A and B are shown apart, each in its own frame.
Chain A
Amino acid sequence: MSAIANRYEFVYLFDVTNGNPNGDPDAGNMPRLDPETNQGLVTDVCLKRKIRNYVALEKADAEGKPEQGYVIYMQEKSVLNNQHKQAYAALGIEPEAKKLPKDEAKAHELTRWMCANFFDVRAFGAVMTTEVNAGQVRGPIQLAFATSIDPVIPLEVSITRMAVTNEKDLEKERTMGRKHIIPYGLYRAHGFISAKLAERTGFSEGDLELLWRALINMFEHDRSAARGEMAARKLIVFKHDHPMGNAPAHKLFDLVKVQRVEGEADTPARSFADYEVSIDRDGLPTGVTIEEVL
C-alpha cells in the first residue's frame, strides 16, 4: 500500500479511575507528576508501548504468530515468540562479526526491509546501525508527553497479603504492600504524523487506520492490578490537505478546549462527566478538516 499523503495532528484524551497510569521509577513507582504544577504525566514511550502491544495482539493468529508486515520489533517479554531461537538453530545461521554496511545501497535495502516487515519501525522509527550517516530511521509518528488537565493527587493505599514469602517470616502471618493510585485523572496527549517521513518508511493509510484502532482500544487490552480503569475518551484528528500542512500545529491544538463542567470548579473531578470537551470549529484554518475518530 502506498504511503499516506496528508499531514495529521491529533489530540488524544484518556482517563484513569483508581489506578496508576504510568509509574515513576524515580519516585518508587508513584504516578508521574509535574513537580511545578502537580499535573499528572504519562510519557510518550509509555503510550507507544501500548500501541505496540495492541498491534501485536490484533495482528497475531491463534498461535501467536504475527501477520506478515506487522511484526513488532521492540517487544515485551509477555508477548515473546519463543520460536525464534529454534528458528535460528534450524536454519543453521552462524553469527557474523558486527559490521556496518559501507555500501549505501545495501544499507538502504536493509532499512527498507525492516520498514516493510515491522510495524513499529514503520510508525515510530528505530535506531539501526543500518542507515549510513544518521544510523537511524525516523518514523512519521511523534508523540509528546501526556499531561492531566487538572492537578492530580496520588493516594497511597496500603494492602495486606494473607501469605508470606519466606518461611522465617511465618510468625508475621501477613505482609503489607503499597499501591499508588490516582482517584481520577483526565490526560491529554498531542501527536504528530508527518506525511513526508511516512513516504520514506511506507507508513500507509491502512497503518493509519490501525493506529487509530490502537489508540481507541489499547487500554481495553492493558488491564492490570496497577492500572485501575483506564479508557480512551476522545481522539480528535486534524487532517491537512497539503502534505506539508496547512496550519501551525499549536494553533490547531488550541482549538480543542477541555474544561470543568460549570458550577463545580472547586470540587475534585471524579469522572469524565465532570469535563466538557469543546472544539472551536469556526476557528478552523482553511485546508484543515477535523475528524472525531472517537
Chain B
Amino acid sequence: MAYGIRLKVWGERACFTRPEMKVERVSYDVITPSAARGILEAIHWKPAIRWVVDRIHVINPIRFESIRRNEVGGKLSAASVSKAIKAGRTDGLITLADEDRQQRAATVLRDVAYVVEAHFELTAKADVGDSEGKHLDIFNRRARKGQYFHAPCLGVREFPASFELIEPDTLLPAVHADLLGERELGWMLHDIDFAHDMTPRFFRAVMCDGVIEVPAWNSEEVKA
C-alpha cells in the first residue's frame, strides 16, 4: 500500500446501475469498484498503470429518488456509417427521436459522498520511464488542483462528481450514524474483465460501519 491514495468524491445524484435492472435503471446502494476506478482514471491514467480499489467508505446515508426521461432505443450501426462514407453524404444517417422513443425511469441515489482508497500497479505496458512515484505524483498534483482529463461522474455522465484529495495525514470524514453496524449489500459488480471478452465479475459486498472492503481482483471471493 505504499502507493495508495484516498480521494473524496461527492455529488447531488448518482446512478451505479445494477446490470440485472438496466432497462429501467436501478442503482446499487453504493458506488461500485468499477465506477470508482472510472473516476480515478478520469483524473489520471496511462496504459502503464492499473488502478486497484481497496476500500470504499460510504459517508452519507443511502437514499433513492426516481426520475423518468424520454430516451432513444436504437444505436447507430457501423454498416450504415460506412455506407454513408461511401455515398459521401449524411442524408440517411439520423435517428428520429420521435420514432425511437422510450420512456425509462431511473432509480438513482441522492446526495452521495464516498472516500475511495486505491492504489495502482504497473502493467506490462510500463517502460523504463514509468516509475510508481511519477504516476503517483501526477495523480496527487492533479487531484489537489482539481484537474482532470474529463469531468468524472457518479455512474452516468449527467451526474458529475466533485472530488478532493485526502492528504495522508488527515482524518477521514465521519460516517453518518445510519451507516453504523454491519450491512449485507448482496452480490455487487466488481469490474468488467476486459481481457476475457468483457466478462463481469462480482463479489459479496458487506458494509461495516460504512466501510466496504473490496477483495482483490484475482481472489476467491470474486466470481465471474
Q: How many residues of B contact A (CB 8 A)?
A: 52
B81 to A113, Cβ gap below 8 A? yes
Contact bitstring B86-118, A, C-beta under 8 A = 1, else 0? 010111111111110001010000100000000
- Of A126-134, A153-161, A164-172, A271-279, the one contacting chain B is A126-134
B69 at the interface (CB under 8 A from A): yes
Residues of A130-156 whose CB lies within 8 A of B: 130, 133, 135, 138, 140, 142-145
* Neighbour of B78 across the interface among A73, A130, A140, CB < 8 A: A130
Contact bitstring B57-73, A, C-beta under 8 A = 1, else 0? 00000000111111110
Residues of A14-70 whose CB lies within 8 A of B: 24-26, 32, 34-36, 41, 43-45, 49, 66
Residues of A236-271 whose CB lies within 8 A of B: 242, 244-251
B145 at the interface (CB under 8 A from A): yes
With contacts A24-B68, A25-B103, A194-B151 taken as known, whether A249 is within 8 angstroms of B162 at the C-beta atoms is yes
B148 to A127, Cβ gap below 8 A? no
A142 to B157, Cβ gap below 8 A? yes
B153 to A74, Cβ gap below 8 A? no
B94 to A25, Cβ gap below 8 A? no
How distant is the Cα of A286 from the Cα of B79 in the complex, in angstroms? 48
How distant is the Cα of A83 from the Cα of B65 in the complex, in angstroms? 43
A144 to B158, Cβ gap below 8 A? yes
Main secondary structure of the interface of A (DSSP, over half): mixed
B158 to A140, Cβ gap below 8 A? no
With contacts A100-B78, A113-B85, A118-B90 taken as known, whether A249 is within 8 angstroms of B146 at the C-beta atoms is yes
A76 at the interface (CB under 8 A from B): yes
A145 to B148, Cβ gap below 8 A? no
How distant is the Cα of A98 from the Cα of B98 in the complex, in angstroms? 23
With contacts A128-B81, A242-B147, A245-B148 taken as known, whether A71 is within 8 angstroms of B158 at the C-beta atoms is no
B223 at the interface (CB under 8 A from A): no
A117 at the interface (CB under 8 A from B): yes
B159 at the interface (CB under 8 A from A): yes
Query: What is the chain A residue whose CB lies nearest that of B71?
Result: A45
Chain A residues in 8 Å Cβ range of B89? 87
Least CB distance from B174 to A in Å reads: 20
With most chain A CB atoms within 10 A of its CB, the pick from B13, B81, B83, B96 is B81
A280 at the interface (CB under 8 A from B): no
Q: How many residues of A contact B (CB 8 A)?
A: 72
How distant is the Cα of A106 from the Cα of B86 in the complex, in angstroms? 13
How distant is the Cα of A73 from the Cα of B90 in the complex, in angstroms? 9
* Neighbour of B94 across the interface among A84, A97, A194, CB < 8 A: A84
Query: What is the chain A residue whose CB lies nearest that of B165?
Result: A248
Chain B residues in 8 Å Cβ range of A43? 67, 69, 158
Chain B residues in 8 Å Cβ range of A101? 78, 82
- Of A88-96, A173-181, A203-211, A218-226, the one contacting chain B is A88-96
B96 to A77, Cβ gap below 8 A? yes
With contacts A194-B148, A248-B164 taken as known, whether A142 is within 8 angstroms of B153 at the C-beta atoms is yes
With contacts A99-B79, A113-B81 taken as known, whether A196 is within 8 angstroms of B160 at the C-beta atoms is no
Chain B residues in 8 Å Cβ range of A194? 148-151
A72 at the interface (CB under 8 A from B): yes
A76 to B83, Cβ gap below 8 A? no
B163 at the interface (CB under 8 A from A): yes
Q: Which residues of B contact A (CB under 8 A)?
A: 12-13, 65-72, 75-79, 81-85, 87, 89-99, 103, 105, 110, 142, 145-151, 153, 157-160, 162-164, 194
Q: Which residues of A contact B (CB under 8 A)?
A: 7, 24-26, 32, 34-36, 41, 43-45, 49, 66, 71-77, 80-81, 83-85, 87-88, 91, 93, 95-101, 106-107, 109-110, 113-114, 117-118, 126-130, 133, 135, 138, 140, 142-145, 190, 192, 194, 196-197, 242, 244-251
Q: List 19 A-B contacts (CB under 8 A).
A: A34-B65, A36-B65, A41-B67, A44-B158, A45-B158, A49-B97, A71-B93, A84-B94, A96-B79, A101-B82, A130-B81, A138-B150, A142-B160, A144-B160, A145-B158, A246-B145, A247-B146, A248-B162, A249-B160
Which 5 interchain pairs have the tightest Cβ spacing? A248-B146, A77-B98, A192-B151, A26-B68, A250-B162
5 further A-B contacts with Cβ under 8 Å, apart from A84-B94, A245-B147, are A7-B148, A77-B96, A96-B83, A190-B160, A194-B148
